[in-house]
Structure 1
Amino acid sequence: MANAELAARVGLTASPCLRRVRQLEAAGVIRGYRALLDYNSLNCELQAFVTLVMHREDRSNVERFEHEVAQLPPVIEAHRLFGDPDYLLRVAVHDVQAYERFYSEVLCDLPGVVQVTSHLIMKEVKQDRGIPTGSGQ
């Protein structure tokens, strides 16, 4: 959104609004900006949430696992969870055959993984729009 539009929405003039945005960026509250992409246009027509259970969660195993997951381009999000399962990944690939290859050749071979469960996405009901700010937005 342009600074002028943001300023109008929050009831400021452009200069103070821009100054506040720059302060939020400097403080790390605003960590960056991103484009919302159409996965189908990028040849990533299949998405899955994948849960993983680890056999051992010692420090070196966890660090190695997390390092390897962070390097995998099909993994677009990765979260470590409390309890079972241990990890939740969001994966985007071209089709079910590409997912099957990724599942059997990569996910199942990650260090320390004892169980992999896939949840293929049928339909996106609500798109990630970031953290809501303000009232009713």
Structure 2
Amino acid sequence: MSKIKEQLLAHLHNEVFCRLGVSPVHGIGVFAVRAIPKGENPLASRLKYREVKFSHAELKKLPRGVRKEIDIFCYYDKDAIFVPEIGMNSMNMAIYLNHSKEPNVRYRKNGQLKALKDIKVGEELFLDYDQSYGEKHTFK
């Protein structure tokens, strides 16, 4: 068996914990497809995830539809917009983590997720946006 095949098989056996689904809380959410032990990274990826910082002016002339996708799926503040280095046609499942003041996952300082408790099959994963992003979030 090739090394890549071995690594991918190990990933499938040991690191795939979640799926996307309809959330009773808001739109789409992330759900456990198998038990996730406390301390585990439920969304471990084989890709290096990095973001590229743009000023608002640099992205201002993008087509309206593309700009809307960036507004929905990318982190931004008053000074900058952070777009995934892998582009907008690949997906990071973490963008579908819904907010809760009683989260069951959080980001570590290294940017990786961590389960705060054992998470059962079928349970939705929640992140406290205020804690994770260091600012107060309001929802429409």
Could you tell me the TM-score, scaled by structure 1's length?
0.30
Higher helix share: 1
| Structure with max Cα Rg | 1
TM-score normalized by the length of structure 2: 0.30
